[in-house]
């Protein structure tokens, strides 16, 4: 749940923050030949979104695996005793 919350905060900051709310401020800077706010709105936000879902899928897979080994360990202990 903490992970979900964290990812959604990044999602909001990059997508809605850099892409929309701060676009005019960021447009003063140039990045790869683009005004930065414009770049976030048309490229940066999308790249960030892909990375966010990748992090989510990876972390959840690891959590699942750890929980499963924990559960198996508990089951094994119960069987032993």
Partner 1 sequence: MTVQQYTFLFVGLTFSLYLFVAWRARVRDTGGFYVAGRGVPAIANGMATAADWMSAASFLGMAGSISLLGYAGGVYLMGWTGGFVLLAVLLAPYLRKFGRFTVPDFVGDRFESGTARFVALLCALFISFTYVAGQMRGVGIVFARFLEVDVTIGVIIGMALVFVYATLGGMKGITYTQVAQYWVLICAFVIPVAAISWQLTGQPVPQLGMGSVVTGSGAQGAGERLLDILNAIHEDLGFLSYTDAFTGNWDRTNVFCTTLALMVGTAGLPHVIVRFYTVKNVRAARWSGFWALLFISFLYLSAPATAAFARYYVINSLDGKVESELPSWYQTWSKTGLIVWLDDGDGELAYRGAGRPGENELFRIGKLSKAEFEGITSDHQQWLDTGGDQGRDGRVIMTERKLDGPDADILVLAMPEMANLAAWIIALVAAGGLAAALSTASGLLLVISSSIAHDFYYRMIRPDATEAQRLRLSRITIGVAVVIAGIVGIYPPGFVAQVVAFAFGLAASSFFPVLVLGIFSVRVGAVPAVAGMVSGIGFTGTYILSTVYFGVDHWCFGIGPQGIGTIGMLVNFAVAGVLTPFCKPPSQAVRKLVQSIRDPEEEVDAGPPVAH
Report the interface residues with partner 1, using CB under 8 A: 4, 7-8, 11, 15-16, 19-21, 23-24, 27, 32-35, 37-39, 41-43, 45-47, 49-50, 52-54, 56-57, 60-61, 63-64, 67-68
Q: How far is the CB of 18 from partner 1 (least distance, A)?
A: 10
Q: Give the residue with the Cβ less far from partner 1, 8 or 74.
A: 8
**Cβ distance 36 to 30 under 8 Å?**
yes
CA-based nearest residue to 7, from 57, 64, 42: 57
Of the CA atoms within 13 Å of residue 58, those in its CB half-sphere come to 7
In whole angstroms, the minimum distance from the beta carbon of 76 to partner 1 comes to 15
């Amino acid at each position: 749940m903490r992970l979900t919350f964290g990812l959604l905060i990044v999602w909001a900051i990059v997508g809605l923050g850099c892409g929309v709310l701060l676009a005019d401020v960021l447009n003063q800077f140039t990045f790869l030949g683009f005004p930065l706010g414009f770049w976030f709105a048309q490229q940066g936000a999308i790249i960030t979104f892909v990375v966010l879902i990748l992090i989510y899928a990876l972390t959840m897979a690891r959590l699942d695996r750890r929980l499963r080994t924990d559960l198996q360990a508990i089951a094994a202990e119960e069987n032993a005793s």
